[in-house]
Structure 1
Amino acid sequence: MSKVIAQAAELYRSNRHAEAANLLLAEDAATPLSLQALLLLAQSKTKLGEAEAAAHLFARAADDPQADRKLMLSLALSLMLKADRARDAFDYAKALLALDPQNADAAAVYRHCLHRRLDVDEARVSNASLRAALAAGDAFAAAIENPLENLYWCGDEALNRAVTRMQGGKPYREEDRLRRRARPHVFGARPRVGYLSNDLSDCHATIQLLQGVLDFHDPEAIDFTLFCYTPQALKRADQGFRQRHAGRIVDLKDLSTEDAHRLIRAQGVDILVDLKGHTGGAWIDLVNSGPAPIQVAYLGFPGSARGIDCDYILSDAVVTPPSSRPYYHEAFCLLPESYQPNDMVYRPLPPPLSRAALGLPEDRLVFSSVNTIRKITPETFDLWMRVLKAVPDSLLYLLGGDDGANARFLGAVSRAGVDTSRIVFRPTLSHLDHLAALPASDLALDTFPCSGHTTTSEQLWMGLPVLTRQGSNFASRVSESLLRAVGLPELVAHDEENFVARAVQLAQNGQKRLEIREKLRRNRRLMPLFDSERMARHLEKAFSMMIERARQGLEPADFAVPAEPPRSTPFSIGERASPAQA
Structure 2
Amino acid sequence: ARIKSKGKDAMLASIPRPEKKPMCLKIGYFSGDFNLHPVTCLIIKMLELHDRSAFEIHAFSFGPDNHDTMHARLIDGVDVFHDVREIPDKDIAELARSKGIDIAIDLTGYTQNGRWGILAYRPAPIQISYLGYPGTMGAEFIDYIIADDILIPDGNEQFYSEKIVYMPHCYQVSDNSRTLPQKDITRTTLGLPETGFIFCCFNTNYKITHHEFNIWMRLLDKVEDSVLWLLQSNKWSEKNLKRRAMDRGIDPARLIFAQSCEYSEYLVRLTIADLYLDTFTFNAGAIANDALWCGLPVLTRQGQGYVARMASSLLTAIDLPELITTNEDDYEIRALELASNSEKLDSIKARMTFNKNKTPLFDTERFTKNIESAYTQIYAKYFAGENPESIHVNEYKTH
Q: TM range, normalised to the smaller chain?
A: over 0.9
Matches within 5 A, 1:184-223: 184-186=17-19, 187-201=21-35, 203-223=36-56
How many angstroms apart in 2 are the aligned matches of 1:261 and 1:417? 57
For structure 1, the residue ranges without an aligned partner over 5 or more in a row are 1-162, 568-582
How many angstroms apart in 1 are the aligned matches of 2:242 and 2:349? 31
Counterpart among 145, 149, 153 of residue 313 in structure 1 = 145
Q: How far does the alpha carbon of each residue in 1:10-45 deviate from its partner, in whole angstroms, 9 at most, with x for none?
A: xxxxxxxxxxxxxxxxxxxxxxxxxxxxxxxxxxxx
Q: Structure 1 403/257 Cα, relative in aligned 2: closer, same or farther at 3 Å? A: closer
Kindly indicate whether residue 260 of structure 2 is the aligned counterpart of residue 419 of structure 1. no
Kindly indicate whether residue 398 of structure 2 is the aligned counterpart of residue 398 of structure 1. no
1 or 2, which has the higher helix percentage? 1
Matches within 5 A, 1:60-71: none
Q: How far does the alpha carbon of each residue in 1:67-125 deviate from its partner, in whole angstroms, 9 at most, with x for none?
A: xxxxxxxxxxxxxxxxxxxxxxxxxxxxxxxxxxxxxxxxxxxxxxxxxxxxxxxxxxx
Q: How far does the alpha carbon of each residue in 1:431-463 deviate from its partner, in whole angstroms, 9 at most, with x for none?
A: 211111112111010012100011101111111
Q: How far does the alpha carbon of each residue in 1:517-551 deviate from its partner, in whole angstroms, 9 at most, with x for none?
A: 11111222221111111111011000000011112
How many angstroms apart in 1 are the aligned matches of 2:13 and 2:235? 53
Aligned residues: 397
Matches within 5 A, 1:424-443: 424-443=256-275
Aligned to 1:482: 314
Q: Structure 1 332/348 Cα, relative in aligned 2: closer, same or farther at 3 Å? A: same
Q: Structure 1 228/185 Cα, relative in aligned 2: closer, same or farther at 3 Å? A: farther
Asked if 2 retains the 8 angstrom alpha-carbon contact of 1:287 and 1:308, the reply is no
Asked if 2 retains the 8 angstrom alpha-carbon contact of 1:277 and 1:308, the reply is no
Asked if 2 retains the 8 angstrom alpha-carbon contact of 1:314 and 1:332, the reply is yes
Question: Which structure exhibits the higher relative contact order, with contacts defined as CA atoms closer than 8 Å and separated by 6 or more residues?
Answer: 2
The alpha carbon displacement at 1:467 in A equals: 0.3
Counterpart among 80, 84, 88 of residue 256 in structure 1 = 88
2:180 maps to amino acid: L
How many angstroms apart in 2 are the aligned matches of 1:390 and 1:486? 30
SS at match of 1:435: helix
Q: Structure 1 442/246 Cα, relative in aligned 2: closer, same or farther at 3 Å? A: closer
TM-score, normalised to structure 1's length? 0.65
Determine which structure has more spread, i.e. the larger CA radius of gyration.
1
Q: How far does the alpha carbon of each residue in 1:158-196 deviate from its partner, in whole angstroms, 9 at most, with x for none?
A: xxxxx5563xx64544xx49974x743354123221111
Counterpart among 361, 370, 378 of residue 538 in structure 1 = 370
SS at match of 1:295: strand
1:248 maps to amino acid: V
1 or 2, which has the higher strand percentage? 2
Q: Once superposed, what is the RMSD of the aligned Cα atoms?
A: 2.3
The alpha carbon displacement at 1:258 in A equals: 2.5
How many angstroms apart in 1 are the aligned matches of 2:251 and 2:327? 26
SS at match of 1:253: coil
The percentage of counterpart residues that share the same residue type is 31
How many angstroms apart in 2 are the aligned matches of 1:262 and 1:566? 38
Asked if 2 retains the 8 angstrom alpha-carbon contact of 1:366 and 1:395, the reply is yes
For structure 2, the residue ranges without an aligned partner over 5 or more in a row are none
Q: How far does the alpha carbon of each residue in 1:279-331 deviate from its partner, in whole angstroms, 9 at most, with x for none?
A: 11211211011121111000100110123621110111111112211110100
Q: Structure 1 565/527 Cα, relative in aligned 2: closer, same or farther at 3 Å? A: farther
The alpha carbon displacement at 1:198 in A equals: 1.7
Aligned to 2:57: 224
Asked if 1 retains the 8 angstrom alpha-carbon contact of 2:292 and 2:352, the reply is yes
